[in-house]
Structure 1
Amino acid sequence: MSIQSFNPATEEVVASFEPYSEEMVQSILDNVAVEWLGWKERSFAERRALLKKAADLLRERSGELAEIMAVEMGKPVKQGEGEAVKCGLVCDFYADNGEEMLAPTPVEGAGRKAYITYQPLGTVLTVMPWNFPFWQVFRIAAPSLMAGNAVVLKHASNVPQCALAIEKIFRDAGFPENIFRSLLIDARQVESVLDHGSVFAVSLTGSEFAGQKVASAAGARLKKSVMELGGSDPFIVLNDADLDEAIKIATVSRCGNAGQTCIAAKRFIVMDGVYDEFVSRFAESMDALKIGDPLDRETDMGPMSSGKLRQELQDQVDRCIKAGGHVVRGGSIPDGAGFYYPPTLITDVPADADVCQEELFGPVAVVFRAASVDEAVEIANSTPFGLGGSIWSKDEDLAEKVAARIRTGCVFINSLVRSDVNLPFGGIGISGFGRELGTYGIREFVNVKPVCIG
């Protein structure tokens, strides 16, 4: 069966690709293993120059890459351009800082002389999703390549053109041909990639189910894994919040990328004193979004990536209503071509409803009322997820105290939850384990080896 590039705005197949055979995949992995022997000996200066060139190409080609994203998974082009530029930023970040991050670290008290080294290990398999088809890849590839590892990518099956475009960027930047390779394979072939002796680790961004499958396969082979999985991020609005800013960011967070973002705000927990105003103004802000063709630069929100995901979201909305929820805006699949879904706002769903234990991966905001800070924290921590969260209050001391009580991998105060090159990123609970970005990210896939003298 061919791998198809399917336009979610028109429901048309725009390109088809033959999947790589098992023999081809193993041959590529063999070639990567041989190429790595020379790559790991390259100096940081050499790797830095190549990453800098990749960053330049990402910026130069941002318009072209944004159009590929728009056609394959529905991201509006102005958002796609921003994603490509951000990929350039992560390449620059590790080019500029990677050598220092991996410099030997002296240790006192462990002998006459002791230090910790950070050495490359081989090939990292990265299994990536379609929703940020460039950013998710580059935030693993940039540190891994700077550290001296090789990378092979198994991308989501609906974004093959993105996968091949990424491979071309590294090749055009001057990287050795077999140091970054995209494998056009299906999920069933991931285990055979992990079986290859050169592949020492896997990083996956995706669903809880995908994480369970791949982490289990890696564990069975005693190979390291980093899992960045789903989220159901709380967005806590205290009584003294700047509602203008909170509502602006709430709209961007929940409806950007058609709501298909793991760290999007999904559960809005609002104090009694501002609840009614927040709901009313949030609905108005959603109404102002322009929904349509992702190739149109004026579009704020394009279609969802597939009809299947849209129907799953609708089923969750129906269950919210069945549990007692009230639809303030949206809530039903529109007529017409394309997998569009309207920005949707739902109130009055009980926090303990089964559907509230799930991730709503689309532009649906569920708003909860809280009578106290303690109740807000209780609601925030009432799911098995733990990726990110935000707190909105003019009292930063109070907000920091609340942040300390939220069980998530990160908390942002009066700001959009985001993955930042300077900060470690990852989750707890069923949102995954391990960290990407920052110093932690580049040290995930190296041999942390102490050397002790005397």
Structure 2
Amino acid sequence: MPIATVNPATGETVRTFDALGRDGIEQRIAAAHAAFRQWRLTGFDERARLLRAAADLLDKEQDDIARTMTLEMGKTLTAARAEAAKCAKAMRWYAGHAEALLADEHPAPADVEDSGAVRAYVRYRPLGVVLAVMPWNFPLWQVVRFAAPALMAGNVGLLKHASNVPQTALYLGELFHRAGFPEGCFQTLLIGSGAIEDVLRDPRVAAATLTGSEGAGRAVASVAGDEVKKTVLELGGSDPFIVMPSADLDRAAEVAVTARVQNNGQSCIAAKRFIVHTDVHDAFAERFTRAMSALRVGDPTSLSTDVGPVSSEQGRADLEELVQDALAKGAEALCGARRPEALPDGWYYEPTVLAGITKDMRIHHEEAFGPVATLYRAADLDAAVGIANDTPFGLSSNVWTADEDERRRFVRDLEAGGVYFDGMTASHPALPFGGVKRSGYGRELSGHGIREFCNATTVWYGG
């Protein structure tokens, strides 16, 4: 795949970039390795000062970077601005909380004595150079939610971003440098996927984090496993959105639309499978389909647009294959399931609701990365849980119910990294984020995320 900015609203190639050669990659790894030896010695106050400076720059440049993101991957300008603001917020959160999150941990005095020590504690120390392999769908946020905690912990980063968002990738590398971070602390590598293995096998690279497809995760995890290096993987998702009889149907349907089409439907944590109790199924389906049909599809730079294009021609083709497979096997399109006739240029697809999904349809098992929702009817709570868990993924889940007994059951039984009641899944710096099953392993954000790339060191003093 060429490293290029291709406008998904028009299909126009705006700018292309040459990939780094071996010498360029070597220079950046060497710079990162050298930077880590000094950066790890800095105090939390200095790290926080620089991270806040980066947040200030991001706030000032919000409109410019938002337009770059919209140009490169098609998210609406409104969503792009919100993403930039969220990144600045996360930077400030980690600047203010990292020291406490990584404070020494002291066992109970009785346990220290029982270990034969006069004093013992756990100290969190950084691992070193971390390779971040990041996707295009949230081109700023996915990177910052790794970079902010990693830098505050004393690590340094090498970013291999998706090849279709090179300008956003270069902006990120320059952002931290302009904020005052020492040379080599955070660098962008403009390289193709074929170069990742050599970087990860370099002994100066300590660990890797990847957000992306299951295939990409398998490839990186395989190399890292062979090298015995730590990884964190956040992969695909096919999150359930469960609606029970006690739910506020008007509110549930309203949120369901946002949960499905956020980021033009291209989000791992977007709700994709809508599982509705039979007692309220028809009422919910009518509300949901009506609202999905009313969404305005068009130019992502227009503030009146609800849904822009998907990010690539191949991405739309993949989405169409899933929909056509379902329709050929008996599914019913309640709305959409086609390209909008008024938008012949660009990679647009109408918001779609499919009903009558069966297990032999690919869309039942595969992730639909675009504005396509699947609708299921569940006879009772057990059936809803069964449908929800009948997927290889387990990233997050959404449940609408006012019944406390039902809530306890869903928390106990749903196979997911998160259970969100009466709302939609969203990431926040204070809450851990990640999944189970083929959605990956490890956690980002919160104290769990900042400690993923730390050495939990036992310090023990004898008498």
Q: Structure 2-normalised TM-score?
A: 0.96
Match of 1:23 in 2: 23
Match of 1:59 in 2: 59
Percent identity for Structure 1 against Structure 2: 46
Q: Provide structure 2 residue ranges, at least 5 long, that are not aligned to the other structure.
A: none
Structure 1 position 165 matched with structure 2 position 167: no
Q: Is the 8 A contact 2:322 2:362 kept in 1?
A: no
Q: What CA distance in whole angstroms lies between the structure 2 residues aligned with 1:227 and 1:46?
A: 29
Structure 1 position 324 matched with structure 2 position 330: yes
Q: Is the 8 A contact 1:351 1:368 kept in 2?
A: no
Match of 2:158 in 1: 152
Q: How do 1:91-240 residues align onto structure 2 when only pairs under 5 Å count?
A: 91-108=91-108, 109=111, 110=115, 111-240=117-246
Q: What CA distance in whole angstroms lies between the structure 2 residues aligned with 1:439 and 1:420?
A: 12
Q: What CA distance in whole angstroms lies between the structure 2 residues aligned with 1:354 and 1:86?
A: 34
Amino acid at match of 1:269: I
1:146 partner SS = helix
Q: How do 1:215-364 residues align onto structure 2 when only pairs under 5 Å count?
A: 215-335=221-341, 336-351=344-359, 353-364=361-372
Q: What CA distance in whole angstroms lies between the structure 2 residues aligned with 1:29 and 1:58?
A: 26
Deviation track 1:151-193 (CA, whole Å, cap 9, x = no partner) reads 0100000000000111121111111121000000000100111
1:112 partner SS = strand
Deviation track 1:103-159 (CA, whole Å, cap 9, x = no partner) reads 110013133211000001211100000000000000000000000000010000000
Q: Provide structure 1 residue ranges, at least 5 long, that are not aligned to the other structure.
A: none
Deviation track 1:403-445 (CA, whole Å, cap 9, x = no partner) reads 2210001110001111111111111100000000000000000
Deviation track 1:284-331 (CA, whole Å, cap 9, x = no partner) reads 111222211111122111100001010111000011112221000001
- The CA deviation at 1:397 is 4.0
1:89 partner SS = helix
Q: Is the 8 A contact 1:258 1:304 kept in 2?
A: yes
Q: What CA distance in whole angstroms lies between the structure 2 residues aligned with 1:397 and 1:423?
A: 24
1:63 partner SS = helix
Q: What CA distance in whole angstroms lies between the structure 2 residues aligned with 1:400 and 1:341?
A: 38
Q: What CA distance in whole angstroms lies between the structure 1 residues aligned with 2:180 and 2:39?
A: 12
Match of 1:427 in 2: 435
After the TM superposition, which segments of 4 or more aligned residues of structure 1 sit over 4 Å from their partners? none
- The CA deviation at 1:354 is 3.9
Deviation track 1:74-128 (CA, whole Å, cap 9, x = no partner) reads 0101100000011011111110000111111001313321100000121110000
Amino acid at match of 1:413: F
Match of 1:413 in 2: 421
- The CA deviation at 1:35 is 1.5
Q: What CA distance in whole angstroms lies between the structure 2 residues aligned with 1:36 and 1:154?
A: 18
2:393 partner SS = coil
Q: Is the 8 A contact 2:296 2:306 kept in 1?
A: yes
- The CA deviation at 1:398 is 2.0
Q: Is the 8 A contact 2:212 2:235 kept in 1?
A: yes
How large is the Cα RMSD of the aligned pairs?
A: 1.1
Structure 1 position 444 matched with structure 2 position 442: no
Amino acid at match of 2:302: D
Worse-matched range after superposition: 326-335 or 89-98: 326-335
Q: What CA distance in whole angstroms lies between the structure 2 residues aligned with 1:392 and 1:322?
A: 31
Structure 1 position 395 matched with structure 2 position 403: yes
Q: Structure 1-normalised TM-score?
A: 0.98
Deviation track 1:324-375 (CA, whole Å, cap 9, x = no partner) reads 2100000122340000000000101124644311111111000000111110
- The CA deviation at 1:395 is 2.0
Q: Is the 8 A contact 1:424 1:437 kept in 2?
A: yes
- The CA deviation at 1:61 is 1.3
Amino acid at match of 2:53: K
Aligned residue among 378, 382, 388 for 2:390? 382
Match of 2:69 in 1: 69
Q: What CA distance in whole angstroms lies between the structure 1 residues aligned with 2:88 and 2:345?
A: 34
Q: What CA distance in whole angstroms lies between the structure 1 residues aligned with 2:457 and 2:405?
A: 40
Q: Is the 8 A contact 2:201 2:224 kept in 1?
A: no
Q: What CA distance in whole angstroms lies between the structure 2 residues aligned with 1:39 and 1:79?
A: 34
Q: What CA distance in whole angstroms lies between the structure 2 residues aligned with 1:2 and 1:345?
A: 34
